[in-house]
Homo-oligomer: A and B are copies of this chain.
Amino acid sequence: MPFIPHTDDEVREMLETIGVDSIDDLFDEIPAGLTAATAGRIPQGINEMEISRIMHERAGQDARTLCFAGGGAYEHHIPAAVWEITTRGEFYTAYTPYQAEASQGTLQLLYEYQTMMTRLTAMDISNASLYDGASALAEAVLMAVRANRKSKSKRILVPRTLHPAYRKVAHTIVHNQGIVLQELEYDPQGGHLDPACLPADPGDVTALVIPQPNFFGVLEEVDRLTDWAHAHNILVIAVVNPIALALLTPPGEWGEKGADIVCGEGQPLGAPLSSGGPYFGFMCCRKEFVRQMPGRIIGRTTDLEGKPGYTLTLQAREQHIRRSKATSNICTNQGLLVTAATIYMALLGPQGLERVAASSHANTRRLVEKLGAIKGVSKVFERPYFHEAVFRFDLPLEDILRALSVQGIVGGVRLTEDYPELGNCLLVCATETKTEADLDTLAEALQRISLRLQANRCPVQPKMA
């Protein structure tokens, strides 16, 4: 029996000990009508060899693409050690560290993670993870509503330069509580939220969300935005890419006072693309908001003999203690991804992380040059950016992307649906994993496809005159 160790003899002994005749007797409290379930449409069990074959085939079907899509999920090199250690049974198959003394491995690692994240973001406090970047933003919004005691409006300003999915997810999660996400337009030249366009008197606003870099890869004027918000008693929620932080001003140092809450997608720190998950959301904040923080937090303490050790702390914020008054309903988080991220950061170190960021950016810059040279392709925004850029295509993007995909190339992320006003736009990213040859492959493929589409579009028309 798959994964069931019982022998017939043992089953007999056990039933005897219980005092029943059959296993079915153990279900005798369940109303008879309910236990007749069948599940005939589920296929019969197969063994590991057979499912191996299926999975190898299916993985093979989708494999070996050349990927220039980013848009919140980035292909970075992940050191082999990261997942070889992360999937060790002791990390992989442990539960949430409720029995601290038997979970010091996970707990110390999480404490180290918290430390790394506070250092990367220049904030005081980090929790031990949320589900992903988008849902972390939703939690940040809820947290801001709790934390900003001066605001009653539950009004959150959200620039349209923020990842569209993040806006959707945040709305899904917070709107039932009467929280309103009010969108701010972006500057069509710069592709950023122009601080000059912010109202002098915004009224009662709970928080302003500032992405850095924003969804277009463009850098926002984080200092001015932060100061403007603080001047109006508005909390600042930063949404950042942790790899970018190796190069960019950490949110804790934005403007005069720094951001109040920081969140983002942890995926770039050691998580494979993996169809979008599991990733992890990170969240940091200033010390004074620690009791509003959702999710688990690990603290350093001492044992009976005074030796340092680590344990879950401030649990009174959490659902298993506070129930309907908890800061969030989150229970299971993304611990294993945090394990990977911690090992990733330790293996890269400050200089390695900086080089990953710089090298990704340099590759994207080279790609910008190459694509810029193609007729019918133009870079859309002119402001400084980080490792991702928007291109407009004169020809139908759908056709181009389809043609690329046939060659195994994922050309980028289409913006048409979420930003119809931009027209035929594609968000393109080249991380440190791309070689010069890869960049040329994309550029040349686009060149070829454009020519072909151009030709198809204007079939040689018999000249009339």
Residues in B with CB closer than 8 Å to A88 are 88
Bound form: Cα–Cα A87–B87 in Å = 11
Is A329 at the interface (CB under 8 A from chain B)?
no
Bound form: Cα–Cα A18–B181 in Å = 66
Bound form: Cα–Cα A273–B448 in Å = 42
A48's partner among B49, B80, B84 (CB-CB below 8 A) is B80
Give the nearest-CB partner of A88 in chain B. Answer: B88
Is A60 at the interface (CB under 8 A from chain B)?
yes
Bound form: Cα–Cα A77–B55 in Å = 14
- Closest Cβ of chain B to A105, distance in Å, is 14
Oligomeric state, in copies: 2
Is A64 at the interface (CB under 8 A from chain B)?
yes
Residues in B with CB closer than 8 Å to A79 are 48
Residues in B with CB closer than 8 Å to A84 are 87
Give 1 or 0 for each of A47-58: 1 = CB within 8 Å of chain B CB: 011001100000
Give the nearest-CB partner of A84 in chain B. Answer: B87
Is A433 at the interface (CB under 8 A from chain B)?
yes
Is A432 at the interface (CB under 8 A from chain B)?
yes
Give 1 or 0 for each of A133-160: 1 = CB within 8 Å of chain B CB: 0000000000000000000000000000
Give the nearest-CB partner of A60 in chain B. Answer: B64
- Closest Cβ of chain B to A63, distance in Å, is 9
Please determine whether B64 and A52 come into contact, CB atoms closer than 8 angstroms. Answer: no
Interface members, chain A 72-112 (any B CB < 8 Å) = 77, 79-80, 84, 87-88
Give 1 or 0 for each of A318-339: 1 = CB within 8 Å of chain B CB: 0000000000000000000000
Interface extent on A, as a size class? Answer: 10 to 19
Please determine whether B80 and A49 come into contact, CB atoms closer than 8 angstroms. Answer: no
Residues in B with CB closer than 8 Å to A80 are 48, 52
Interface members, chain A 27-64 (any B CB < 8 Å) = 48-49, 52-53, 60, 64
Residues in B with CB closer than 8 Å to A64 are 60
Residues in B with CB closer than 8 Å to A435 are 53
Bound form: Cα–Cα A88–B87 in Å = 10
Residues in B with CB closer than 8 Å to A48 are 77, 79-80
Interface members, chain A 344-402 (any B CB < 8 Å) = none
Give the nearest-CB partner of A81 in chain B. Answer: B48
Residues in B with CB closer than 8 Å to A60 are 64
By CB atoms of chain B within 10 A, which of A48, A49, A84 has the most?
A49
Please determine whether B49 and A433 come into contact, CB atoms closer than 8 angstroms. Answer: yes
Residues in B with CB closer than 8 Å to A77 are 48-49, 52
Bound form: Cα–Cα A88–B60 in Å = 27
Give 1 or 0 for each of A425-440: 1 = CB within 8 Å of chain B CB: 0000000110100000
Bound form: Cα–Cα A49–B432 in Å = 9
Bound form: Cα–Cα A84–B93 in Å = 13
- Closest Cβ of chain B to A339, distance in Å, is 15
- Closest Cβ of chain B to A223, distance in Å, is 34
Give the nearest-CB partner of A64 in chain B. Answer: B60
Bound form: Cα–Cα A88–B86 in Å = 11
- Closest Cβ of chain B to A318, distance in Å, is 33
Residues in B with CB closer than 8 Å to A87 are 84
Residues in B with CB closer than 8 Å to A52 are 77, 80
- Closest Cβ of chain B to A345, distance in Å, is 16
Bound form: Cα–Cα A88–B52 in Å = 22
- Closest Cβ of chain B to A289, distance in Å, is 38
Give the nearest-CB partner of A356 in chain B. Answer: B49
Residues in B with CB closer than 8 Å to A53 are 435
- Closest Cβ of chain B to A191, distance in Å, is 30
Give the nearest-CB partner of A359 in chain B. Answer: B49
Give the nearest-CB partner of A49 in chain B. Answer: B77
Bound form: Cα–Cα A84–B171 in Å = 42
Give the nearest-CB partner of A92 in chain B. Answer: B84
Bound form: Cα–Cα A80–B87 in Å = 13
Bound form: Cα–Cα A435–B46 in Å = 13
Bound form: Cα–Cα A167–B64 in Å = 43
Give the nearest-CB partner of A87 in chain B. Answer: B84
Can you identify 6 A-B contacts, CB atoms within 8 angstroms? A48-B77, A48-B79, A48-B80, A49-B77, A49-B433, A60-B64
Closest 7 CB pairs of A and B: A49-B77, A48-B79, A49-B433, A88-B88, A48-B80, A60-B64, A52-B77
**Given A48-B77, A84-B87, 9 further pairs, Cβ under 8 A:** A48-B79, A48-B80, A49-B77, A49-B432, A52-B77, A52-B80, A53-B435, A60-B64, A88-B88
